Amino acid sequence: MTTWVNKVKWFIILVLIQGVIISQVQISRYAVPLLYVVFILKLPSDIGRKSLLFYSFLLGLCVDVFCNTPGLNATASLWLAMARPSLLRWQTSRDASESFVPGIKSMRIAPYFRYILPSVLLHSAVINIVDTFSISKLSDIAIATLADTLVTVALIMIIEFVGRKK
């Protein structure tokens, strides 16, 4: 029950941070931190694929409503949710069959980094491709994707470090 409340609390906080602060205070056109993906990445490892898809879709949709981009973040979150189980399995030892919350503590720093980097890369790639929706601007898409990924991964790692010290 408490984990449920906790989850809802984080859901709302992340949507508000993304929708109110990050998308309103635009630092530059490139490099928009997509912090809310941390919610998808930190769902427990044994979560069902369908509920993972559903939560991700809902989260993306809520962010979309704030950013006035219906369907954009939802699509990207869906793709991330689809890829997450394989990405997570790829970075954890095979015998770790019990449930855990992905993080530095449970996975150690290098595997965790190798888990979030491709995840965020996929997510921001989908966002930028769907957003631009044009093949002629491939270099723009690539630059934006890399910048978004860099900022987001840095933010997630910082939060992880700060959270660990508590």
Residues that bind another protein in the complex, under the rule CB under 8 A:
16, 19-21, 24, 26, 29, 49-50, 53-54, 57, 60-61, 64-66, 68-72, 74-75, 78, 81-82, 130, 140
The smaller minimum CB distance to another protein, of residues 37 and 61, is found at 61
Asked if residues 92 and 45 have their Cβ atoms less than 8 Å apart, the reply is yes
Query: What is the C-alpha separation between 23 and 90, in angstroms, rounded?
Result: 32
The nearest distance, CB 109 to another protein, in angstroms, is 30
The nearest distance, CB 18 to another protein, in angstroms, is 12
The smaller minimum CB distance to another protein, of residues 67 and 104, is found at 67
The smaller minimum CB distance to another protein, of residues 57 and 113, is found at 57
Query: What is the C-alpha separation between 9 and 14, in angstroms, rounded?
Result: 9
> Number of C-alpha atoms within 13 angstroms, CB side, residue 80?
33
The nearest distance, CB 105 to another protein, in angstroms, is 28
DSSP 45: T
The smaller minimum CB distance to another protein, of residues 54 and 90, is found at 54
From 36, 81, 90, select the one nearest 54 (Cα to Cα). 81
The nearest distance, CB 165 to another protein, in angstroms, is 29
Give the three-state DSSP class for 129: helix
Phi, psi of 99, rounded to the nearest 5 degrees: -75, 140
